[in-house]
Amino acid sequence: MAFSSLNQNRGARLPPEVNRILFVRNLPYKISSEEMYEIFGKYGAIRQIRVGTLKETKGTAYVVYEDIYDAKNACEHLSGFNVCGRYIVVLYYQPQRAFSKMDTEKKKEELEQMKAKYGVT
């Protein structure tokens, strides 16, 4: 019975924000890739996991699933999951939001410097 309901869900239209890449926040700083595979691998085949190691990216990770429905299932079940006393936040990766946070003032300043350097008006 459960198998037939799973197949029915596979044919359903997904919201536009749903994709195979999940962005995970609020992870413990000491979490390893192996632990991430153990947690997220329960929901399907994983293509790649990237755990943040820099000062700005610690506590975050990207999880890429082979199948979009596995990613959807993991997002629904793991958001709010407790890992080492921390409740993780699992979101769908949205590139337009990730890059919109760039400092536009800094970019404008760099552009003006380049124009002045090369004499472009």
| pTM score, whole prediction | 0.71
Token code pair at residue 27: 């992870």
CA-CA distance, 115 to 121, in Å (whole number)? 6
Q: Report yes or no: 66 and 57 within 8 Å, Cβ to Cβ.
A: no
CA-CA distance, 121 to 110, in Å (whole number)? 14
pLDDT at position 111:
87
pLDDT digits (tens, 9 = 90+) for 27-38: 999 999 899 999
Which residues on neighbouring strands pair with residue 91, listed in sequence order?
A: 23
What's the whole-number average pLDDT of the chain?
85
